[in-house]
Amino acid sequence: MKTYPLQTNLKQDYLNYTAEDKAVWKILFERQMALLKHLAAPEYLEAVEQIGFNANKIPNFEEVNECLELKTGWKLEVVDGIISELDFYELLASKKFPATTWLRKLSELDYLPEPDMFHDVFGHAPMLVNKGVCDFYEAFGKLGVQHKNDSEIVRMLGRLYWFTIEFGLIQNKNELQIYGAGILSSHGESKFAVSDEPKHIDFNTEAIMNTNFDNSVIQNTYFVLNSFDDLYTCLSKVETLLAKSQKQKINLGN
């Protein structure tokens, strides 16, 4: 998938949104929230309220950033599209989350070759009001920067991100609930992920970091947190696994 160079001078041209853009946001927001009120983790639903998103207004990044900076010190960073892994890690380590400002067309509500603003902002931005999630992002970003020259470790970190922040589920009493942005922003996957069709595997850091994924299809395997504490505390296990991986490489080199 194409990546875009990170530019630090990009801004959201809020006045440039068209009637179609506004209609797309409204349709997607109303459709998802009607579904997610039964399927999403309460932490996400509460975060949507705190950040002030609604169907009748495309989020204004300046207003969103004022809210985020007050609550957690984070901000959205405007990007053209998917950026490199290193740029992504560096942004997270600096308390910034990359987000595009373009919206899909009415003719492509359910499929896009790359993430748009609805995925980036509706899916990811609300949980940036949650300090625990932000602490995870920041620590995760710093690990990525620290190991930027080790391609295998970068792949392992990518798997962890994929199966948690993008496509993570959480067990709440007897119900599976969604917290991953890739599911939250997808109408079809929201219903599929918590159904009986895919595999649901108990959260296991080592297993996740050694499980490959295909980003071009709906997932057939999801890892399930028992609580968000699993996410917040897994980074110590990640560091142990990365140290083990590096030691094995050194031994093989000898």
Catalytic residue selected from 43, 90, 138, 185: 185
The verdict on whether 166 is a catalytic residue reads yes
What digits encode the pLDDT tens for the residues 105-141? Answer: 999 998 777 889 999 999 999 999 999 999 999 999 9
63 is catalytic: no
Marked catalytic residue, from 43, 90, 124, 147: 124
43, 90, 119, 189: the catalytic one is 119
Domain coordinates in residue numbering, the chain: 14-253
What's the CA angle centered on 215, arms 107 and 236, to 5 degrees? Answer: 135
Per-residue pLDDT at 2 exceeds 90:
no
Active site residue 185: yes
pLDDT tens-digit map of 141-153: 999 999 999 998 9
Question: Quick one: tokens of 21?
Answer: 């853009």
First CA to last CA distance, the chain: 36
Q: What is the pLDDT of residues 200-254, one digit of tens each?
A: 999 999 999 999 999 888 999 999 999 999 998 999 899 888 888 777 766 666 4
Q: Which of 43, 90, 166, 189 is catalytic?
A: 166
Active site residue 38: no
Q: Please tell me the chain's helix, strand, coil percentages from 3-state DSSP, rounded to the nearest 5.
A: 55, 10, 30
Would you say the pTM of this structure is higher than 0.85? Answer: yes
pLDDT at 100: 97
14-253 CATH: 1.10.800.10
User: Cα separation of 46 and 101, whole Å?
Assistant: 24
Predicted confidence at residue 107, as pLDDT, reads 92
pLDDT at 249: 65
